Chain A
Amino acid sequence: MTPLKKNTDHRFSNVLRAGFQAGRRFQSTGPQASARAAALREAHGGFSFELTDQQKEFQEVARKFAREEIVPAAPSYDRSGEYPFPLIKRAWELGLINGHIPEDCGGMGLGIFDACLITEELAFGCTGVQTAIEANSLGQMPVIIAGNDAQKKKYLGRMAEEPLMCAYCVTEPGAGSDVAGIKTRAVKKGDEYVVNGQKMWITNGGKANWYFLLACTDPDPKCPASKAFTGFVVEADTPGVQPGRKELNMGQRCSDTRGITFEDVRIPKENVLIGEGAGFKIAMGAFDKTRPPVAAGATGLAQRALEEATKYALERKTFGKFIAEHQAVSFLLAEMAMKVELARMAYQRAAWEVDQGRRNTYYASIAKAFAGDIANQCATDAVQIFGGNGFNSEYPVEKLMRDAKIYQIYEGTAQIQRLIISREHLGKFKQ
Chain B
Amino acid sequence: MLTLWTRVVQAAFIFLTTESIGVLLDPCGHISPESPVVQLGSNFTAVCVLKEKLPPEKPKNLNCIVNEEKNMMCQWDPGRKTYLETNYTLKSEWATEKFADCKAQRDTPNSCTLDYSPVYFVNIEVWVEAENALGNITSDHINFDPIDKVKPNPPHNLSVRSSEELSSILKLAWINPSIKSFLRLKYSIQYRTKDASTWSQIPPEDTSSTRSSFTVQDLKPFTEYVFRIRCMKEDGKGFWSDWSEEASGITYEARPSKEPSFWYKIDPSHTHGYRPVKLIWKTLPPFEANGKILDYEVTLTRWKSHFQNYRVNDTKLTVNLTNDRYIATLTARNLVGRSDASVLTIPACDFRAAHPVMDLKAFPKDNKLWVEWTAPTESVNKYILEWCVLSDKSPCIPDWQQEDGTVHLTYLRGNLMESKCYLITVTPVYADGPGSPESVRAYLKQAAPSKGPTVRTKKVGKNEAVLEWDQLPVDVQNGFIRNYTILYKTAFGNETAVNVDSSHTEYTLSSLTSDTLYMVRMAAYTDEGGMYGPDFTFTTPKFAQGEIEAIVVPVCLAFLLTTLLGVLFCFNKRDLIKKHIWPNVPDPSKSHIAQWSPHTPLRHNFNSKDQMYSDGNFTDVSVVEIEVNDKKPFPEDLKSMDLFKKEKNSTEGHSSGIGGSSCMSSSRPSISSGDENESGQNTLSTVQYSTVVHSGYRHQVPPVQVFSRSESTQPLLDSEERPEDLQLVDNVDSGDGVLPRQQYFKQNCSQHETSQDISHFERPKQVSSVNEEDFVRLKQQQISDHISQSCGSEQMKMFQEISTAAVFGPGTEGEVERFETVEMEAAIDEGMPKSYLPQTVRQGGYVPQ
Do A and B truly interact?
A: no
Which A positions have Cβ atoms within 8 angstroms of B? none
